[in-house]
Structure 1
Amino acid sequence: MGIHEKMMHIQTTLKAPKNLYNSFGNYKYRNAEGILEAVKPLLAENKMSMYITDDVQAVGDRVYVKATVKVWDTETGEWVETSALAREALNKKGMDDSQITGTASSYARKYALNGIFLLDDTKDADTDENQKERKARADKQTDDNNTEAIRAMKISKIKQDTLLSLCDEMAFDINKILASYHHKDISEITEGEYQYIVANKDKANVRKIWS
């Protein structure tokens, strides 16, 4: 039996259930350690060995960990391999640099193992969980779009008057405010701009620009 036949046997036999649970995201998952625990007996059964190596690579200002999984057939000397990349987080609360690299390594190794043993780490498209996630993403996108639309709306006459009163109270020059937003008239002020002015009226840098 050649290496590809052995790999096919392992890929169709391997059972690596998602035995870990993420309570924050409400989903089950597997990690590299779980895959290794499940595959070791199958490797021994088929007289194969496996090695995993990491390579840290810098791309621009980001750092990636490249994990390579190589499976050897001890009977024939044949081998197959696959690699996967995981990007280091710029920072992660409560972790030092070595822990951040270790986390990226764990992810890269899991993805490489998924690839070589044909493990699907995605959620089924028809599951309730997947449908809930898609609905949540769609709802969030709708909320974001609605928020942007509201921020782009021109302010009402009442808010125009409120803004003029605020300028009198804070000794702001309304013409400077209009110029900073490239407007010619107060009626062109948008809801987002109005909210910014009101929220930042007491800040020194704002007073310096508009007074």
Structure 2
Amino acid sequence: MRTSEEITEVIKSIIQVQSSLKKIKKDRVNPFAESKYATLDAILEEVLPMLTENKLALTQEPLTIHEENAVKIGCRTTLFHESGQFIEYEPLLFSFEKGSKMNMAQSSGSIITYSKRYSLSAILGISTGDDTDGIDTSTRQNNNEQNKNQNYKQQKENNYSNNNNHQQDGEAENERKLIQEIMKYKNFLINNGKNIDELNAYIARKEGVSDIGAVDNVRILGFFKLLALKLEKKLKEEEQQTMTQTQIEGIAPVKWGE
């Protein structure tokens, strides 16, 4: 971690932000872990106006580090106070999974988003648990609206223009298709005798996290697609070996339905 010579003002502002934060609603579902999590958009919508109100600015710089046998991707988060004081936190990096055969741009973007989300949550001590109290949710939303300054109102109006609404609809449709693809490969693996808990644990281990619920859906799709394709290839090879062995032994293979 790197800081300015003095950090008293930035620390005071962080304390003010943390004292105002409540649980952030989880707005996305991870179909494999059967769990919900808060997206980066949901976290920023709650946090940015509070940072602005307390004279703080947030930057999250994407990073790519090339090592001898691996590429690591993530971000470095910094909080700046209007006084010029700052705290620059250690980057959160993850290995790029080349073997997943996913689109490189999608995979890189997914990792960076994941890094931003967890870095910000850890730095500010954000809880992303479910909101179960409807009254509390309504009260929090009203209070947030009252506390937003004019600059943030203008920013929100721009962000939620008609064009952005169309974009959000498209993102929701893409997410639905993504989950359908995930379920297709998941069902194939289960139907062919694979233990889904073991596969989930394998993916979490590869991503360097304790639970698959912390893995982005795009990454999950890449892993399960690769595993399914490998299994399909193995099954075809075994089927071919059985047919060859049958022919060697002089036994005509049974053709069901004839």
- Structure 1 length as normaliser, TM-score? 0.53
Unpaired stretches in structure 2, ≥5 consecutive residues: 1-7, 131-195, 202-239, 246-258
1: CA distance between counterparts of 2:68 and 2:118? 23
Larger-Rg structure: 1
Classify the secondary structure of the residue corresponding to 2:98.
Answer: coil
Is residue 44 of structure 1 aligned with residue 52 of structure 2? yes
Name which of 60, 65, 68 aligns with 2:73. Answer: 65
Which structure: greater helix fraction?
2
Q: Is 1:14 the equivalent of 2:21?
A: yes
Q: Distance in 2 between matches of 1:101 and 1:201?
A: 42
Give unpaired runs (5+ residues) of structure 1: 124-135, 142-198, 205-211
CA distance 1:106–1:85, shift in 2 (3 Å):
same
Alpha-carbon shift at residue 62 of structure 1 (Å) = 1.9
The CA distance in 1 between the partners of 2:109 and 2:57, in whole Å, is 23
Identity of aligned residues (%): 22
Q: Distance in 1 between matches of 2:72 and 2:127?
A: 22
Give the whole-Å Cα distance in 1 for the aligned partners of 2:244 and 2:108.
Answer: 40
Cross-structure match for 2:104: 97
Q: Cα distance, 1:68 vs. partner?
A: 1.0
Asked if the contact 1:64/1:87 (under 8 Å) is kept, the reply is yes
- CA-atom RMSD, angstroms? 3.4
Change (3 A) 1:120 1:81: farther
More strand per residue:
1
Call closer, same or farther: CA 1:91–1:120 in 2, change over 3 Å: farther
* Pairs aligned (count): 135
What is the 5 A alignment of 1:83-122? 83-92=91-100, 95-120=102-127
Structure 2: how far apart are the matches of 1:43 and 1:6? 8
CA contact (8 A) 2:79 2:87 kept: yes
Quote the Cα distance in structure 2 between the aligned partners of 1:121 and 1:67.
20
Instruction: Kindly indicate whether residue 26 of structure 2 is the aligned counterpart of residue 26 of structure 1.
Output: no
Contact 1:64 1:86 in 2 (8 A): yes
What do the CA deviations read for 1:12-44 (whole angstroms, capped 9, x no partner)?
A: 322422221123321010122221111111011
Q: Which runs of 4+ in 1 moved over 4 A?
A: 120-123, 199-204
Deviation of the 1:202 alpha carbon: 7.9
